[in-house]
Structure 1
């Protein structure tokens, strides 16, 4: 824009005294009850006004704001009265002390409301966007407000048929200010007889169809004079698209021809500076702005321009949708029409969107805005991903948010794609091959979704935002696209199969882009957990699961402080004489007000977030306290076992810390068994190997959990002190029906004997399974067949009953595990 320059921190105007400075942030506090404003010194410097100028009066401010922008202020202020809206921001032009205008950015924040939610006090924070405006820009009005507007604004709420107007209208046109409100008929009665019907018809049409108006009429002044004025109105919409009110202005009028009227309207919308199409619905003409002609490849001034003429510069695919859309705009300009994306003969993608529809003395005029969405008006790398040519996420986010905000037209869907094993491609074949793969995916996506918004969000993730089709479900469209992408072949790695995982979600009313992205990512996570190379569609169950996971992430860090953790104890019983050899300590979490959360849900979350270290140490300390408590109750257990995750084993200080607690309680380290999973033995990280060795050297022994589900590192198994191997429940459940599972269980028992350690079968629920395990030589059993996990108090009582039951079968039971000393 001419006359403007970018503002940099530290810039100042060459001035003295109170002349404005562009680096000031001015804060003002507005009291609507008393009608005063408290200004800080920065506001004086920003505007050049002084305290002698009655700056604390609200009317002082409204008289110096460009009238076109004053209407915008009332609209933004109205938003603050909506539930949950405490802040909004906008730009406006203010007349400084020397008469020059400057453009300011303003943020409004509510400070106090009454009992009904109405705003009583608010704060504004303002700074200068420009230096002083040039003559061209100073008073260029917003759309629908003629350039000579200097009067005031009015607001009509059709649902209750009430009109309010600003103080300026009362003062300048003699409109009664005693109530400052009336119905529509009462408002138009202020005008002469010929004007009333025109104004009322235009207002009703705006309220029903959203068509704005600018009319030259005559005001019936109280002394009998007829004053030429211009009245303008435009529809204001709720977030759901409903028209809630009509906002307008009233101004002194000057004699203007229809050509002048149209020229002023073009200036208002920036027709000469933007790529736009002008539709004259009365004359049946189309006119292109200079930039629009450039976008379509037309020579400036080339006439006539028709929908068919424009379509000749589009691809055949775009013509099928573009011609009917342009014809529809010419027949009945619809502001709510869904924007379309077309491709021109050069392959550029152009987005056509309704911008404004006005009924004036020059006719019914509509404007369509054109955006070159492939480079955003000649944008550079700041807008596009240099590797794929797709939008950067920030640009994608802005365009997608705008599409969602319209709440009109067909539903939309968001597809998120993640390249599986991109690191493998880069590692095996080089980064250049990985880049070629990403470029190929970008090219395929543009072909598969020619009218969609797309971006590369991260190194290996793409987003596609497209309109749902009535003839093809979005899921089928996404699956077909995924199959096409899987057909990509890498030049240097033809035997390498390209694989992508995908998540899909369809939009719902009043959804924000951030929510859609989160939902699509949730579906993508499910696809990846299931092995990748597939599409998952978001559903309510996923949303509940994701919300539950977010809850766990938020609540886990404070679980210990809130005393939400407990240990449960499940006995381990000897297959030989039925004695209790010990128990496994199982961590339980019951968040306040939410009920128990299974370990299978919160342990993975704790491992990912890092909370497992604090939770794990708490569980180990509580297990040692339980050993001490059972001993104080007169019951001596051989040992208790506690699960330790591979994440905890990365903590080199853990063994010494645990040994110190055992020593402080007077316990031997061999009484506490460290349970690790079979997969832990496959870890070759130095810190894990060192931690296992440190546990062994301090006298701790190990139990291998879930044995038989993986491929153990037998060398590591032979080097650490293993007290027992636990046969996984998945084998136990099938030993009577699956010969292979029974054979595997026998092999585990034989291996344990070779390593001189005991075997424990976990998850045993049937007496017949317990008998079979005893036959094949299993040493102990853990499961519901004997007892469910229980609290420490209940566990002690169970031990006492068990001791009495086995006292007759083992004369030395009082001096061994499970017996009183």
Structure 2
């Protein structure tokens, strides 16, 4: 008790009059000041007051009750507190009395009380409210934590309340009312307060009434403000991580659990409830009462494994069959292990249950299908094989029978390849090379094989690359004997598609192959040329030597034509003495002219026809696949017209269709000369077009687009001058200038406070082949003080087709420095998905031709949806180009497209105009 009274007395100023009362409220002792001040009359007057105070403190032992006593000229400030033991029971009371008018220095100053409470609570900001005056004292920290100066608010309650978020004010008022009404010992509330920047910060507000009036009203309240914004952010992150963990378990169909044997407390993750088919809003069944969740045999094995783990800590792993309440069987893989205490005792079991039902069903179906396929293979003479990277070869029995080899005989790629003809060997080696290199996933070949009994057979071999950990591992495939089919097709093909006299493709076959060649050009292969040949003086041979000699002459001409062209070119007989030659991969018109001269020279040599020597020549018309001759029909007409022009020019010569090509060549020469001076003359400039995020509307990127206006004021189209720049090599210097200017402009916008994620620059395939290009990119970024992780390089699909060491080193350097890669005009090129795995591509840009036609039919919408799904499956973001209408934008949003670019948002703008546009977006 002495200690309790001492603690209570220490809470009063030592120079006051101090009284000690017992638990019943009777006077026990007092200090000298009390004996001088407390007269019998004063004691009698204060007795009812003390009775009321004792009643209040009995209900709220922690309170200090104040009373101002007035009797004539006498004014006393009375304060009573309880002395409590360690268990909080009241042992007695202490009373302090003093006359403020006589000894004002004995009154506890507000500052002292404030600091005493701050030391007791050790919080950030301190506030003190006086019930007598209604004024509020706030420490500087209360306002500085919100970014306000110390004198920002008036000293009243309403000024702080105005800072509280409107949605939080009712909760704050309720918490304060509960404390002031005596229903809670202290006041505490968490709310958002507006800071000086207009944002919101989370505040923990705590307080307590430290002085009460005799009529039980708060006389003085002191509290603290603590900035807990960071804690709230951490709390939000933890909640988000919990959601992500639950989602990850759901995707993986993996449920987790834990069990405390001592308390029998058990916990299940949400996904485990899903696997068991139980509602997640109920408690999981007790660990020792889960028999109904499993088939009997599975439960017994699980129970025994759990006992063993509990006794020894040994983990277990097994497959179990669970039973849902509706009777559905779920195949699962269960793992469990024990968690030990410091003394080695197993204190808890934890584990996971993986739902593998779909996998088990798929494996069963696969076994059934394999058995079925084996029976079908035997009936249809289809063999299977597997080729490992080291050349090991495995065959099915049917494959042995197809090749005429005894089943079980050791075979390898090396020993079997020698039984194929040379062309077949070459094609098979090339196909395997492509597949093991990762550039091809599936190959189908028709090859010729010689059996041990020297029979020639034709085989159709289809192989598919199987990967392990994303890397090529082995080839599996099928072999089908197509000998009968091949021989029949050969006869039909020869009769239907080849000229019976010369053996050359006839008009029908030539047309078909020419159409295929033109389609290949449309898909990005080099251009082609058509040569229309008409023999000069052939009628003289027929008339003088007879038709039989004329036929032999045509056969000789056909042979010489084959010798003048490459294997990839196409020679055909149109009829009579007219022939067609289709030249593939014609880089320049001069290449076609070279072949024409070669043919003219070959056919100018005399032809021995029996005892006679015939001299013929030919007139050749040349037409190029271009804007003037965009298809096969136009190409044939152009070449035919050019052939007549050659005859008019004197025969035994060649002519191009017309002069338009030469005009184009001349224009190209002019453009090339002007382009070499464009940089020096400051004729090049950049315009910029933003890319917007479809999720939150932010400016995700800004694409730099090159423009050329000559000093004469003529604008040149990039589609025209960029290919010329690539061919003549100027693209390297222009590309460095574009990159530097784009980075400089991006830095300028950034320093102006304009918000965007990255700057995007188009890169040519020629630049990528430059071994210095990657280093130049980093140097340009450093020189212009632009972060590499905010730079995006846009590449075409064709630029990525060549997997070279230079390209890989460049991409490794880009990846190490955070430079983002995007595939521009995706879908218009070869679209080989292998390069998307090999290179660090982050964005796919759907070509504008697809986007702008989305509204014309479900087929194109399906195409864009496929690109979006593909990009997301590969972990990439998808950008739509050429968005011009709200309808198209809505379709793209519905398909899950990430970003969009187009006239709907803005046309390409000059730097100043785009800066204005960015400010408008921020506003």
Q: Tell me which protein shows more helix as a share of its residues.
A: 2
Q: Which has the higher contact order (CA 8 A, sep 6+)?
A: 1
Give the TM-score normalised by the residue count of structure 1.
0.36
Whose Rg is larger?
A: 2
TM-score by length of structure 2 reads 0.32
